[in-house]
């Protein structure tokens, strides 16, 4: 019984490790594009000048 629990636990750990490695290896895509952020900053700047 203990051997079975150890085997299941080891398999769960391997699975969790594989998922973490997959997430870490995936390219990180920014939530908002660079152009969008630049446009947002320019709008704020223009609002400050106008206001």
Question: Tens digit of pLDDT for each residue in 5-47?
Answer: 889 899 999 999 999 998 888 777 776 788 888 999 999 999 9
Total-model pTM: 0.46
* DSSP for 1-51, written as a single string: -HHHHHHHHHHHHHHHHHHHHHHHHSPPPPSS-HHHHHHHHHHHHHHHHH-
């Amino acid at each position: 019984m203990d051997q079975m629990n150890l085997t299941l636990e080891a398999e769960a750990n391997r699975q969790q490790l594989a998922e973490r490695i997959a997430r870490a290896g995936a390219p990180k895509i920014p939530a908002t594009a660079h152009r969008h952020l630049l446009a947002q900053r320019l709008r704020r700047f223009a609002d400050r000048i106008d206001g």
